[in-house]
Amino acid sequence: MWGYVRLELIRTMRDGGYVIFGIVMPVVMYLVFTNLGLAPGDRHDAAIYTMVSMAAYGALGGAFNNGSGIAEDRAAGWLRQLRLTPLTPAQVVAGKVVTGVAGVVPSIAAVLLTGLLVNHVTLPPQRWLAIVVLLWAGTVPFSLLGLGNGYRLSGQSAAMANIATMLTLAILGGLWVPVENFPSWLRAIAEWTPSNSYAGLSWRIAFGDVPTVRQVVILSAWLLVFAVYAVYGYRRAGRRA
């Protein structure tokens, strides 16, 4: 299985879509937002807040891109080729999940390092650690949603659906513009999104608060929904293969 993960990671790193949406854009947007004074309040606070937003945005890009890869693989007959190797189906699925989980690391690392080195963000070590862990682990629901789309839709439409979903969740979740600046009706919707809860966990930590129960519950609920969706997509894909 590790050979499979290795192969998939090689492919991911050579994927222009992943590098652009998952790494370059979040870093560029982070630098633009923080250095043009578009984020509200104190400059250091803005650097911290936007760092979390953009790391979350990049992680979303990486997680959804992994799902699009599944659809591409199916169209290329690669999933069938894998079934003809000694790898078990469980190893293949697990390998893809591990790839997705590993694939978001560069996105998160790139933005956090930019925050640390370029925007001189200073945080206590335990907060850094908590943010890294929460940003990383919190991508699982989005990976599952991306995989579900990848299994359920064909190549091109899966990629389109994943990009559209990713951008919608990023904007609506307040990753580009804080939800505090939204009209109140939109803000009410935003606070039910998985992306807002996901980034919210780390925003709270970054400013020395504890994540709210509401955020944890909402993200967990979406995790369940997307897991069911991914399993449903996988079963459907299996019947057609």
Token couple for 111: 């933005």
What is the rounded CA–CA span in Å between residue 183 and residue 217? 24
Name the residue with tokens 């990753």: 175
Q: Is 17 in the site for another protein (CB under 8 A)?
A: no
Q: Is 73 in the site for another protein (CB under 8 A)?
A: yes
Tell me which stretch binds another protein (CB under 8 A): 10-18, 108-116, 136-144, 191-199.
Answer: 10-18
Query: How many residues of this chain bind another protein (CB under 8 A)?
Result: 22
Name the residue with tokens 């994943």: 162
Q: Which one, 154 or 212, has the nearer CB to another protein? A: 154
Shortest Å, Cβ 107 to another protein: 18
Q: Which one, 88 or 168, has the nearer CB to another protein? A: 88
Q: Is 238 in the site for another protein (CB under 8 A)?
A: no
Distance (Å) of CA 25 to CA 68, 156, 160, 210: 18, 22, 18, 29
Binding mask 111-140 for another protein (x = CB under 8 A): ------------------------------
From the number of C-beta atoms within 10 Å of its C-beta (0-12, 13-18, 19+), residue 31 rates as middle
Distance (Å) of CA 167 to CA 2, 62, 159, 205: 31, 12, 12, 24
Report 28-67 residues binding another protein (CB under 8 A).
Answer: none
Tell me which stretch binds another protein (CB under 8 A): 19-27, 73-81, 141-149, 209-217.
Answer: 73-81
Binding-site member from 43, 80, 214, 235 for another protein (CB under 8 A): 80
Shortest Å, Cβ 150 to another protein: 14
Whether the CB-CB separation of 237 and 152 falls below 8 Å is answered with yes
Q: Give 29's contacts (C-beta < 8 A, 6+ positions apart).
A: 54, 57, 176
Q: Is 84 in the site for another protein (CB under 8 A)?
A: yes
Binding-site member from 43, 44, 88, 137 for another protein (CB under 8 A): 88
Sign of the C-alpha dihedral computed for residues 6, 10, 15 and 19 taken in this order: positive
Shortest Å, Cβ 4 to another protein: 7
Whether the CB-CB separation of 111 and 171 falls below 8 Å is answered with no
Helix (H, G, I), strand (E, B) or coil at 65: helix
Q: Residues interacting with another protein, by CB under 8 A?
A: 3-4, 6-7, 10-11, 14-15, 72-73, 76-78, 80-81, 83-88, 241
